[in-house]
């Protein structure tokens, strides 16, 4: 049980730190791409205007209509940049999300999810606790899948099954590694 809690807290810290670093890297890459686009607009505005016309034409707007729209949008550097960032780069020009908050959510979520399989060991004898732990974990995974399906307007049964299967396979893999590796390497 102590090892389980140690893993839960270590995993929560690791997941939170990983979320922070990956989110920060993503924001840094996006900021670089946005700044590069801003510099291209200043350095070769005619090329960038031609690109925006071509982007609108690819969306089905006539050449004349695309030139008119591009002419209007390029009168505002902010609108021009936002349009290029969103249409050419496929990025959001809006302010990035709070990476500290995202990492906190990830860490706390991991910690709470880690407690589900540990809790039965406080209430039941060891053999019973294992069975209850597996059942509680499967039920928790199904609930998470249900909530995901509901929020994303997906097929709830499919979403629940997907989360349960992925969670069960990963849990089984962890369980097997935890029991097989010590046997292979002499405990």
Mean pLDDT computed over 10-26:
91
**φ, ψ for residue 174 (rounded to 5)?**
-65, -40
Q: Could you tell me the residue ranges of all domains in the chain? A: 1-99, 119-184
The 10s digit of each residue's pLDDT in 130-168 is: 999 999 999 999 999 999 999 999 999 999 999 999 999
SS3 content of the chain, % helix, strand, coil (to 5): 85, 0, 15
The 10s digit of each residue's pLDDT in 85-116 is: 999 888 887 766 788 888 999 999 999 989 99
Q: How confident is the model at residue 62 (pLDDT cuts 50, 70, 90)?
A: very high
The 10s digit of each residue's pLDDT in 112-137 is: 989 999 999 999 999 999 999 999 99
| Secondary structure class of 152 (helix, strand, coil) | coil
């Amino acid at each position: 049980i102590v090892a389980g809690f140690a893993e839960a807290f270590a995993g929560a810290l690791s997941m939170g730190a990983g979320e922070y670093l990956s989110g920060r890297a993503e924001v840094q890459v996006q900021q670089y791409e946005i700044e590069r686009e801003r510099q291209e607009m200043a350095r070769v505005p005619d090329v960038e205007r031609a690109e925006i016309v071509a982007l609108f034409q690819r969306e089905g707007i006539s050449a004349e209509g695309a030139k008119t729209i591009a002419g209007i949008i390029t009168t505002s550097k902010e609108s021009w940049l936002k349009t290029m960032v969103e249409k050419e780069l496929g990025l959001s020009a809006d302010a990035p999300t709070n990476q500290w908050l995202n990492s906190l959510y990830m860490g706390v979520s991991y910690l709470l999810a880690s407690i589900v399989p540990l809790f039965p060991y406080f209430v039941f004898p060891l053999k019973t606790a294992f069975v209850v732990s597996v059942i509680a974990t499967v039920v928790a995974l199904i609930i998470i899948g249900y909530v995901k399906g509901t929020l994303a307007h997906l097929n709830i049964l499919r979403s629940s099954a997907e989360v349960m299967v992925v969670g069960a396979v990963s849990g089984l893999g962890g369980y097997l590694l935890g029991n097989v590796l010590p046997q292979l390497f002499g405990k």
